[in-house]
């Protein structure tokens, strides 16, 4: 997939939004002349503290300790499954569902569904079960005075690094919403200049990309810079690199450069040169 399409059409939504289905197991009890109706298996139990695996339980729940940010009393709640591997079977789990609950309002303020098993997060159970959080664990990504969420997914196959997504806090709805404009491998926040940057490299055929968003007072977006690269053909080993700068939806700057195979270059240097 070309990186331009990678940015343009919101590929991250296939990672951040979907559902994990549960299938009820049925059991029957037999008597000499009468069959009992099938019974649903018990619902997954919520576990706090050390977890003991129940072989009949394919999916179970864990949760963090309650914590406070943005004037809310919150708790992470997970549905997980053990990973079948050569490691300790009690150690690693798939995250099937992850929610952030406002305990006072009994409301879900963040819901992460993972549909693609190839990139479904695998974590150590001890890293999420009964975990303690504080405001210091969260960043104000758009510099509006409220804490936001940063969620990373790492593919289970291939060498690709964590891909990070941002969920901005909406103070009116009191919920966290996926920010579609910016995501990447390395998110860098600059509080002094109120900018957030994302740099991605090592994609298909060596393609790379860059984004920068600058914010004003109250989290208002002032401009967005974007560099994308496209591998043209194997014969020439050439790249087409495009730089664009936007104010809202208005295009302010558009530059294009062709990099040939014989050229010696570093992606960072190309980005710095084109975004001057």
Comparing 45 with 205, the larger pLDDT belongs to 205
Mean pLDDT calculated for residue range 164-183: 91
The pLDDT assigned to 21 comes to 36
Average pLDDT, the chain: 78
Tens of pLDDT along 54-92?
444 588 999 999 999 999 999 999 999 888 755 565 688
Comparing 112 with 11, the larger pLDDT belongs to 112
CB atoms within 10 A of CB 13: 12
The pLDDT assigned to 150 comes to 92
The pLDDT assigned to 181 comes to 83
- Is the pLDDT at 19 greater than 50, yes or no? no
What is the SS3 string spanning the chain? CCHHHHHHCCCCHHHHCCCCCCCCCEECCECCCCECCCEECCCCCEECCCCCCCCCCCCEEEECCCEEECCEEEEEEEEEEECCCCCCCCCEEEEEEEEEEECCCCEEEEEEECCCHHHCCEEEHHHHCCCCCCHHHCECCCCCCCCEEEEEECCCCCCCCCEEEEEEEECCCCEEEEEEEEEECEEEEECCCCEEEEEECCCHHHCCEEEEEEECHHHCEEEEEEEEEEEEECCCCEEEEEEEEEECCEEEEEEEEEECCCCCCCHHHHHHHHCC
The pLDDT assigned to 227 comes to 95
CB atoms within 10 A of CB 127: 9
Alpha-carbon gap, residue 32 to 12, rounded angstroms: 56
- Is the pLDDT at 136 greater than 90, yes or no? yes
Strand partners, 149: 167
Both tokens assigned to 143: 């510099």
Token pair 């009468």 in the structure block, residue: 34
- Is the pLDDT at 29 greater than 90, yes or no? no
Tens of pLDDT along 179-228?
988 877 778 999 999 999 998 876 666 788 899 999 999 999 999 999 99
The pLDDT assigned to 14 comes to 40
The pLDDT assigned to 251 comes to 96
The pLDDT assigned to 33 comes to 45
* pTM for this entry: 0.73
Tens of pLDDT along 240-273?
999 999 998 899 999 999 988 778 888 889 999 9
């Amino acid at each position: 997939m070309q990186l331009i399409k990678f940015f343009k059409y919101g590929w991250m939504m296939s990672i951040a939004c979907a559902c994990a289905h549960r299938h009820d197991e049925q059991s029957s009890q037999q008597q000499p002349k009468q069959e009992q109706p099938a019974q649903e298996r018990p619902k997954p139990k919520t576990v706090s503290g050390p977890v003991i695996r129940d072989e009949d339980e394919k999916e179970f729940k864990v949760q963090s300790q309650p914590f406070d940010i943005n004037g809310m009393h919150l708790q992470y709640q997970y549905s997980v499954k053990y990973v079948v591997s050569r490691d300790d079977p009690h150690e690693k789990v798939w995250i099937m569902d992850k929610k952030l609950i406002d305990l006072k309002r009994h409301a879900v303020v963040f819901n992460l569904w993972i549909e693609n098993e190839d990139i479904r997060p695998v974590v150590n159970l001890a890293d999420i079960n009964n975990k303690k959080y504080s405001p210091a664990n969260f960043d104000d990504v758009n510099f509006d005075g409220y804490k936001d969420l940063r969620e990373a997914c790492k593919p289970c196959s291939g060498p690709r690094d964590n891909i990070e997504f941002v969920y901005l806090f909406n103070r009116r709805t009191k919920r966290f919403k996926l920010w579609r404009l910016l995501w990447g491998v390395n998110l860098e926040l600059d509080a002094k200049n109120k900018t957030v940057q994302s740099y991605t490299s090592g994609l298909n055929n060596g393609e790379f990309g860059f984004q920068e968003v600058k914010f004003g007072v109250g989290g208002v977006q002032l401009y967005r810079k974007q560099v994308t690269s496209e591998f043209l053909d194997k014969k020439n080993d050439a790249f087409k690199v495009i730089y664009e700068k936007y104010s809202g939806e208005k295009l302010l700057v558009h530059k294009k450069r062709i990099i040939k195979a014989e050229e010696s270059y570093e992606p960072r240097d190309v980005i710095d040169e084109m975004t001057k």
